[in-house]
Structure 1
Amino acid sequence: MKSWKVYLTLFFLSLASVFFLLGKEKGQAEERLPQQALKIGVSLYRGDDEFISSVSRALEEEKSHKEEKFQQKMTLNILDAKNSQTIQNAQIDQFIRKNYDVIVVNVVDRTVAATLIHKAKQAKIPIIFFNREPIETDLLQWDQAFYVGSRAQESGEMQGQLVWQAYLENPDRFDLNGDGKIQYVMLEGEEVHQDSLIRTETSIQSIVDAGVKVERLARGVGNWMRQPSKEFMSQWLKEFDQPIELVISNNDEMALGAVEALQSEKQMPPPQIVGIDGTKEGIEAVDNGQMLGTILADTTAQAKGILDLAYATSQNRPIKEIEPKVKDQYLWIPHQIYTTEK
């Protein structure tokens, strides 16, 4: 009788050992399984915008770094709204239907941001806007809506600073007709875009505040694009009897349009040209002397900020760990002046 009990005890102990080992192997196998990828849907207002495409490339490049840092797979689905709010609305609806973890939007029409935020809130999907800033009251209606970008006022002020510092160092290179003023033309982005309006106003105000006299000869709305800006510049070079002394552009693409116009419609000496964004071609134009300078908007830093926020919000992690700091749902990336001037 006693031996039977011993055999029975040994049997159950062996069985327990088998289940323990099986459970351990199962746990180890689960640990080796890849985590479910974090799905991030990105909608661009216009994929052929040079600056926006550079942010898109930076997102793709930074993704692998963030995957390694967070030990979390990420998938990016980047779509082009082709400057159509209707198309963008459909893209956001698609992200929601497919249960994406985070929605990232470079919004076509900032006045529609409230509707997009409402949709995201209902679906409980964090939404991150970038480059084209929503109206503040719309953004703050939900604490899981964020904006990543650079301040338009800062870029305009720096552009003006770039001009007046160069003018004070050597007025003759600007005042080609000797009248004590800078005759300038302004290439503006979209007519109702807040960044365009702010950059236009603050760049000139910065120059005037430094005590430099200016006179505007013309303005043209180039919609951030090179070709219409080239056409404006070609027209102005033929139109005015006096030389154009300065070209202020709301972005580098339009500034490069002015550069191209000057290559065919000669003015000697040529006007000084300044842009904003720090695109690859913009920086090259500064380096080879075709532009006086540009204002760098750090696309890599923007991409890092977007992905840091995407991870933190989707995983319920504290956003206070993100650098630079998120303040009141805004993550601001500072601008920098780029010029070859000493």
Structure 2
Amino acid sequence: MKRFFCLLVSLALLAGVAACGSAAKTTPTIRVGVALYQQDDTFISTVVQHLQQLALEEEQARHIKINLRIADGRGSQSVQNEQVDRFLDLGCDVICVNLVDRTAAAVIIDKAQAANVPVIFFNREPVVEDLRRWQHAYYVGSPGKQAGRLQGGIVLDAWQAESSDIDRNGDGVLQYVMLEGEPGHQDALLRTEYAIRTLTQAGVATEKLASDAVNWQRGKANIRMRQWLQEFGDGIEAVFANNDDMALGAIDACMAAGMSPEALPFIVGVDATPPALETLADGTLQGTVRNDAAGQAAGMLGLISALTQGQDPAGTVELTDRKYVWLEYTTVTRDNLAAFQQP
């Protein structure tokens, strides 16, 4: 019996040592919920890819584990709200939200605040009053006005260099169509307004033939552009698209109509997605404006890293009004395309 008792004690001690050793080797884990308005959006999927890659690099550098839970809202705010609830129930340390409806941020902020979980919005800017509801609500993105100005600047530069290349009917007026993102979306409104304002302020006369909101989607832009080509034909001298996917949809329609690359209207987009850069290289897209997907991912990860370590985020990322991480847009044309292509 004494031997049996001693054996039990020895086994218990060994088990205790093993358990302590296992606990000492447990890898610290950061749990992050990422809610997307629509995962098949080309730009948003690019941001997520960068975030996943940067998280992997952060894991290796800090010897930690970063669990990214990605959820597709499929264009429904109610679905996205349920996904946020799920993230909070799972004990996520931070949630990142690409809003379906920018006016719905207050509901998500209140949920996050009640759970004391920081929330980082990205690419779709909440109303400023909502973002101020809680100290640990942040936004990572780029200013919509700048995208519009730069897009308009691409067309302006081409017009001033040789207006006859765009002004096909020689009337001194730029006839254009506008493919908009979605009704009420702040970036869509600002990109639309400031692209044209840039031209008119420089003295270029413009005439809008048509415009429509096709929800950032290539397929819908293709359908709308086909209709416009039937209605206006060669009268369309320029196509402004609030994002590259819609610009590519316009190009699809033109090519399906049998137009040669040289006969296409002057088409410009926003985002500088990989597919857009390919069409820029082949001459069908005339220019785009880089929306910094890698920078947005880095801004989010910087906030995540600081917040989960109890640090002041301002020491990790550049914050404006202690709320905003702003990334600059950049003009991309064939002249500087090589700098933005993958090596």
User: Do the structures match in fold with TM over 0.5?
Assistant: yes
Point out where structure 2 has 5 or more consecutive residues left out of the alignment. Answer: 1-13, 337-343
Match runs of 1:220-259 below 5 Å: 220-240=212-232, 242-259=234-251
CA contact (8 A) 1:277 1:295 kept: yes
**How far did 1:326 drift?**
4.7
1:318 to 309, 312, 319: 312
2:134 aligns with 142
CA contact (8 A) 1:324 1:333 kept: no
2:60 is equivalent to residue 68 of structure 1: yes
1:278 aligns with 272
Q: Write the distance in 2 (CA, Å) between the matches of 1:88 and 1:251.
A: 23
1:130 to 122, 145, 148: 122
Q: Write the distance in 2 (CA, Å) between the matches of 1:112 and 1:76.
A: 23
For 2:235, what is the secondary structure of its paired residue? coil
For 1:240, what is the secondary structure of its paired residue? helix
The two structures, once aligned, show a CA RMSD in angstroms of: 1.9
Point out where structure 1 has 5 or more consecutive residues left out of the alignment. Answer: 1-21
**How far did 1:322 drift?**
2.3
Bigger mean CA deviation after superposition, 147-156 or 263-272: 263-272
CA contact (8 A) 2:264 2:284 kept: no
1:59 to 51, 57, 61: 51
1:308 to 296, 302, 311: 302
Q: Write the distance in 2 (CA, Å) between the matches of 1:324 and 1:292.
A: 33
**How far did 1:69 drift?**
3.7
Provide closer, same or farther for how the CA distance between residues 94 and 78 of structure 1 changes in structure 2, counting only shifts above 3 A. same
For 1:278, what is the secondary structure of its paired residue? coil
Q: Write the distance in 2 (CA, Å) between the matches of 1:190 and 1:236.
A: 18
Match runs of 1:185-200 below 5 Å: 185-200=177-192
**Larger CA Rg, structure 1 vs 2:** 1
Q: Write the distance in 1 (CA, Å) between the matches of 2:335 and 2:228.
A: 27
1:338 to 312, 332, 335: 332
CA contact (8 A) 1:159 1:275 kept: yes
* % identical aligned pairs: 41
Q: TM-score, normalised by structure 2?
A: 0.88
CA contact (8 A) 1:37 1:75 kept: yes
CA contact (8 A) 1:319 1:326 kept: no
**How far did 1:109 drift?**
1.1
For 2:179, what is the secondary structure of its paired residue? strand
Q: Write the distance in 2 (CA, Å) between the matches of 1:205 and 1:328.
A: 31
**How far did 1:70 drift?**
3.8
2:176 to 178, 184, 194: 184
Match runs of 1:20-35 below 5 Å: 29=21, 33-35=25-27
For 1:160-216, what per-residue CA distance to the aligned partner results, in whole angstroms no more than 9, with x for missing partners? Answer: 111101110111111000000110000001011111111100110011111111111
For 1:215, what is the secondary structure of its paired residue? strand
Q: Write the distance in 2 (CA, Å) between the matches of 1:253 and 1:134.
A: 23
